[in-house]
Amino acid sequence: MPQDVYDKVIMLAKRRGFIYPSFEIYGGVAGLYDYGPLGSQLKNNLENLWRYFYIYKDSCLEINTPTITLYDVLEASGHVDEFTDLTVDCEDCKLSFKVEDIIEDESSIQQAIKDETLICPTCGGKLINPHPVNLMFATKIGIGKTRDAFLRPETAQGIFTGFHLLYRYAREKLPFGVIQLGKGYRNEVSPRQGPIRMREFSMAEAEVFFDPNNKSHKNFSEVKDHILYLYDNESEFQLTMEDAVSKGVINNQALSYYMYLTQTILIQGGVDPKKFRFRKHADDELAHYAEECWDAELFSERFGWVECVGIADRSAYDINAHIEASKTDMYAMRRYESPKIVKHKKIVPKMNILGPKLKDKAGDIKAIIDEMEVTGQIENLTIPFEGEEYLIPKDAYDVVEVEEKEAGEKFIPHVIEPSYGIDRILYCILEHNYKEIEKENESYHLLSLPYQMAPIKTGVFPLIKDESLTCISEKIDKTLREHGISTSYDETGTIGRRYARMDEIGTPFCITVDHDTLDDKKVTMRNRDTREQERIDIDALPDFFKKQK
RNA sequence: GCGGGUGUGGUGUAGUCUGGUAUCACUUAAGCUUGCCAAGCUUAUAACUCGGGUUCAAAUCCCGGCACCCGCACCA
C-alpha cells in the first residue's frame, strides 16, 4: 500500500502520542481527535508563541468566553441563518429529510413541493414544509425552563458581545485588540480530511477594533520593509509591506501588519517558507460583511494549499448587528479636540400644571416632550399618546434655548480579524518538519521542530547503565526540570537508539553523561539537526537551554 | 449524502478468491550485553473494525453499522 507523507505523519503522530482519533474503541467519530501527551505540549507551545506576538508585540487583551453561546447572539451575527441545510418533513410519518438527499437541484424545491412530486422515502407520504436546519451543535441551557443555545462556531462572537466593557477597559481609545484561544464547533457534513477538518477544533482569534477613518498601525513603520509572500489567484509574488500598501495590493496598514505577524508566527513555529503564501480572496468569494480578506495558506502534500489563517476586514458588520439586536450602546466615540457647543430649543413642561391635569399619563407624556426637537414657532402643542392627542396649553410649558456640549461623534468601530485554525497549522508543521533520511541503509525519520515548538527540549542519557553515570544523569534531569526545561530521561538500550527515539519526536538536543564526566564535570551535547557534539559544563546547562530560540 | 475501495498486535503487514485455533518485521517491556548515532542474544506482552446471519467450524462467505481513503456533492 503506497504511503504519502500524510500517512507517515499520521502514523507517527499516533504511535508517539501527538494526535489520534477520539473514542476509537467505540468505532471513532469522524472529525474528533485526541491530542496525546506530546501533541498537547506541541499545541501549548504554538499557542504560547501566538500569545507572545499578540500580547507582547501587539498589546492585545486576552479574554475567555463560554463555548456555549446563546441563540440570540448567533441569530444577530447571522449564523442561525447561514449555517444551514434545507430539510423537508413528511406529512404522514413526521420524519425529516435533507433536501439535498431527496432532490438533485435544491433551487427547484419550491416547485417540487407545489407539484407534489416529492414522496417520503420511508412511508411514501407527501413531503412538505421545506425549512433550513442549522449545522451548529444545538443545546439547551437549564432544566425545565430552558433557553436555546449552540456550541459556538467561532470564538469571535464572545469578544463582540463584550465590546462595550472591553472598550471601557481599554479606556475608550482605539485601536485595541482582543484575543481569545479556544474551541469552536461545527457539525460538518463530511469531515474527511483528518486534522484539517474537525468538528471540534481549536482556534486563536484576534478582533482588533479600529476607527474606520484610520486603519494605520503604530508598529507599521518598524516592520514596513519586511517581505510578504503573496498570491493573487494567478501568480505568486513578493512585496515589502510598504509597497503592498502603497500600491493598493493590500488595502491598509492594519491588514498588512497582521499579515506580517501571521507570517512571522507561522515561520517561527516551523512552517516551511516555501510552503507558505497569502492568498487574496477574489471579489466573488468575499463574505458579505468582508471588505477584504487574505488567507494564509500552507501547502500539504496530501491536501494541496490549505487555508489555515483568515485575515479579514470585517468592517462594522458584527458590532452593528449586536447594537441593533440587543439595543446596547456599543458605539465608540471620536472625541473633538474641544467639546462642541450646540444650541437648540427645548420645551420644558411645567409639571405642577401638567401633573394634576394628565394624572397617570403625565410621566410618559413628559418623556415624549423631552425628546422633541423644536424648530421654529410652536403653536397648539399636541402630543400623540396611546392613540389620543393631548393638547398642552401654552401656560403649561416654556420654550427655552439650551446649550449642550458634544464631546465627540459616535461611530461603530471596524474590526480586523486574524483567525487561526490551530489544528490545521499543527498538522502542517508536523508535515513540513517530517524528514526521512537514509542512515546506514536504514530509513530514519526525524521531526526538525524549532526549539520553541519541541515538546521535549532535551534527552538526558547515561552512556551506559552504570550507577556512577545514572546518578549524575538523574541529577541533571531533575535540575533541568526545576528550571522549566522539559526533558526525557532514558537509560535503556544503546545510545543510538535513544538518539533515534528523540529525533523522531523532534527533540533538538540530547545530553550524554560518560565516564569523563566524573573527572571534568562536562557532558556531551548532541544536536539533532547537525548531529554534532560538543562538551558543556554541567553547571552551564540551564543557561544553554535558556539561550535557545 | 451518493458511488467505488479499504479495515488483522502499539506500527507496518501475510493469510481472504479456495472457511479449519493468524505470518513476518519493527516497536515496547525484562534480563544479558553495550563506551556516542536504531548492534546482538534470551524471554515476555500484544491483533482479525463492530453487530447479526450461514456453517460442525468464519479474519475468510452473506447482510447491516462505524471509521478511513478516492471521486462527486457540501463546506470555506
Over residues A271-291, the mean pLDDT reads: 84
pLDDT value at position A116?
63
Q: What is the DSSP string of A414-429?
A: EEEEEEEEHHHHHHHH
Task: Report the nucleotide nearest the CA of residue A29, measured to C1'.
Answer: B67
pLDDT value at position A30?
82
Level-2 CATH architecture, domain A42-67+157-319+415-425 = 2-Layer Sandwich (3.30)
Tell whether the model's pLDDT for residue A441 goes beyond 80: no
Comparison of pLDDT for A373 and A195, the residue scoring more? A195
Share above pLDDT 70 across residues of chain A, in percent, rounded to a whole number: 85
Tell whether the model's pLDDT for residue A396 goes beyond 80: no
> CA A490 → C1' B26, Å?
20
> CA A13 → C1' B59, Å?
27
DSSP, collapsed to helix, strand or coil, labels residue A494 as: coil
Tell whether the model's pLDDT for residue A1 goes beyond 50: no
Q: What is the DSSP string of A444-482?
A: EEEE---TTT-SS-EEEEESS--HHHHHHHHHHHHHHHH
DSSP, collapsed to helix, strand or coil, labels residue A115 as: helix
pLDDT value at position A88?
63
A8 touches strand B (CB under 7 A): no
> CA A232 → C1' B69, Å?
32
Q: Which of A78-82, A207-211, A449-453, A467-471 has the lowest mean pLDDT?
A: A78-82
DSSP, collapsed to helix, strand or coil, labels residue A433 as: helix
Tell whether the model's pLDDT for residue A361 goes beyond 80: no
A14 touches strand B (CB under 7 A): yes
DSSP, collapsed to helix, strand or coil, labels residue A294 as: strand
Check: CATH 3.40.50.800 for A456-546? yes
Over residues A363-372, the mean pLDDT reads: 70
DSSP, collapsed to helix, strand or coil, labels residue A131 as: strand
A444 touches strand B (CB under 7 A): yes
Task: Report the nucleotide nearest the CA of residue A307, measured to C1'.
Answer: B76
A191 touches strand B (CB under 7 A): yes
Over residues A397-414, the mean pLDDT reads: 80
3-state SS of A60-90?
CEECCCCCEEEHHHHHHCCHHHHCEEEEEEE
> CA A2 → C1' B14, Å?
17
A504: burial class by Cβ within 10 Å (0-12, 13-18, 19+)?
middle
CA distance A312 to A306: 17
Nine cell digits for residue A168: 471601557
CA distance A246 to A232: 17
CA distance A410 to A69: 28
Task: Report the nucleotide nearest the CA of residue A533, measured to C1'.
Answer: B36
pLDDT value at position A335?
83
A497 touches strand B (CB under 7 A): yes
A535 touches strand B (CB under 7 A): no
For residue range A514-531, list pLDDT tens digits in order.
999 999 999 999 999 999
pLDDT value at position A122?
52
CA distance A385 to A368: 9
Nine cell digits for residue A304: 494541496
In A135-194, DSSP assigns E strands to 138-141, 147-151, 176-185
A302 touches strand B (CB under 7 A): yes
> Domain boundaries in chain A?
42-67+157-319+415-425, 84-134, 335-409, 456-546
Find out whether A287 and A293 touch, Cβ atoms under 8 Å.
Answer: yes
For residue range A72-121, list pLDDT tens digits in order.
999 999 888 876 666 666 565 555 555 655 555 555 666 666 666 666 55
Tell whether the model's pLDDT for residue A127 goes beyond 70: no
Cα angle, residue A208 at apex, residues A204 and A210 outer, rounded to 5°: 170
Over residues A273-296, the mean pLDDT reads: 85
Task: Using alpha carbons, select from A433, A437, A427 the residue that is nearest to residue A450.
Answer: A433
Task: Report the nucleotide nearest the CA of residue A514, measured to C1'.
Answer: B35
> CA A10 → C1' B57, Å?
38
Confirm whether the ipTM is greater than 0.95: no
Half-sphere exposure of A33 (CA within 13 A, CB side): 27
First to last CA, chain A: 39
Which positions in strand B are less than 7 Å from the protein's CB atoms? 1-2, 7, 10-13, 27-30, 33-39, 49-50, 65-70, 72-76
A492 touches strand B (CB under 7 A): yes
pLDDT value at position A29?
82
Comparison of pLDDT for A78 and A512, the residue scoring more? A512
